[in-house]
Amino acid sequence: MFTSVNKPLFTFVIMEDEQALYPGLFKCELEGRYVHNDHIIPLLDRAKNDVEISEIGTSENGLPVFSVTIGNGPIKVLGWSQMHGNESTTTKVLFDFLQFVCHKKAFQQEIHQFLSSYTFVFIPILNPDGALAYTRVNANEVDLNRDALDQSQKESRILRKVYEEFQPDLNLNLHDQRTIYGTSEGKSATISFLAPAADPERTVTDARKTAMSHIVRMNRRLQSLIPGQVARYDDTYNENCVGDYFVTAGTPSILIEAGHYRVDYQRERTREFIFYALLELFGITKHESEVLTYKDYFDIPENQVNFKDVIIRNIRVDGYDELVSVGIQYKEMLKNGKVFFDPIVEEIGKLDEWYTHNENDGNKGFALLNYHKKEGIGEKIVTIIDKNTENTLFNSTDMC
């Protein structure tokens, strides 16, 4: 079982050089939002002499599902990414961590201690069909994170088999969350955590205390990098969710959600922050020895749905008598092997209660959406201009 949150396993301290070295030594070549088996298989082949690579089953469409085993220590951790095929940030993080372990240029003492203390098994892409199609669901349009009880899909049964055979001390359920999430303070939720409930009463069981303690430690590290930008999910119990199922079975489980950071729609900075969180989780870094308890978990602010990607404020739109705001949300679309972000008009109104990642003041001008006056809710937006001044208020080509 994991050590107490107040007693890190290791006593050494990694220098802040980890941040300087990350782009060159620790960051693998996976880039962007579209990641599937064809991208990771060469990386797995390259690492096969350093770690154990196994094909543990096939998807509903017959694509291979792989596992990676790092280390041979007594503390057992199981992680899985891309249970939702279009959530790839943490897959990139796992390969960054793999590159960190396999490289031979820095932190060799720390890596050796990690390898002798932990056995970390991770499934980089649990849903390869969904990853290829860039969809949340699998080939049968099933959300694998709601299939814990039914076990209706091959991918669900693969995960359950690995869990039952490995019997981990901790699970890491790795996902991406949408750009709509923030905190009540108006900051984007760049990373969100959850220690899932074990019952409808949300009892704080020993397994949950363990998960909460590790979240507290990771949050402490992240606050030095992204202060105020870590949130936690509501812990309403759902017996069909995989994390809830495993916690009910007595295994501490942590949900990690990669969220939005500034204009980083490719999630490359978020990826880096989660990498540092994993170093902290595994005791590879050690920071201030302040007293922390699992109860500090509840001080992390809850996720709020309070962000839009773009808001054009203080403008006039045909059909509205007063000044309004136009709220735009990007829709991710796979086109020719690349993910594009189509801006869609989601809402027109006051929008005073909404925060945004990109704001523009229309200065009371009359807005033309795609050069015409009709309202445009649900419409893909190429450009918004001020009819009178011809100033551009929004242009889709300015997207990241």
DSSP secondary structure letters along 276-330: HHHHHHTTSS--------GGGGGGSPBPEE-EESEEEEEEB-TT-SS-EEEEEEE
344: β partners:
329, 380
Q: Residue 290 pLDDT > 80, yes or no?
A: no
Residues 6+ apart with CB under 8 A from 124: 40, 44, 66, 68, 81, 82, 91, 94, 95
Whole-number Å distance between alpha carbons of 368 and 381: 10
Q: How far is residue 200 from each of residues 116, 245, 384, measured CA to CA in Å?
A: 38, 12, 47
Global pTM value: 0.93
pLDDT at residue number 317: 92
Which tops the pLDDT comparison, 19 or 250? 250
What mean pLDDT, rounded, does the chain reach?
93
Task: Tell me the pLDDT tens digit for each residue of 155-211.
Answer: 999 999 999 999 999 999 999 999 999 999 999 999 999 999 999 999 999 999 999
Which DSSP symbol is given to 146?
G
pLDDT at residue number 172: 98
Name the band, by pLDDT with cuts 50, 70 and 90, for residue 354.
very high
Whole-number Å distance between alpha carbons of 241 and 127: 16
Residues 6+ apart with CB under 8 A from 135: 85, 86
Q: How many CB atoms lie within 10 A of CB 206?
A: 12
Handedness of CA 237, 138, 253, 256 (dihedral sign): negative
CB contact at 8 A, 247 and 207: yes
HSE-up of residue 318 (Cα within 13 Å, Cβ side): 11
Mean pLDDT computed over 303-330: 95
Q: How many CB atoms lie within 10 A of CB 11?
A: 9
From the list 292, 200, 323, 314, the residue with the least C-alpha distance to 7 is 292
pLDDT at residue number 10: 35
From the list 393, 374, 398, 383, the residue with the least C-alpha distance to 312 is 393
Task: Tell me the pLDDT tens digit for each residue of 31-72.
Answer: 999 999 999 999 999 999 999 999 999 999 999 999 999 999
Name the band, by pLDDT with cuts 50, 70 and 90, for residue 289.
low
Name the band, by pLDDT with cuts 50, 70 and 90, for residue 4.
very low
From the list 26, 123, 69, 84, the residue with the least C-alpha distance to 258 is 84
Whole-number CA gyration radius for the chain? 22
Report which residue type is found at 135: T
Task: Tell me the pLDDT tens digit for each residue of 292-312.
Answer: 899 999 999 999 999 999 999
Catalogue all structural domains in the chain, each as residue range(s) with its CATH number: 17-305 (3.40.630.10), 307-398 (2.30.40)
DSSP secondary structure letters along 11-30: -----THHHHHIIIII--S-
pLDDT at residue number 15: 46
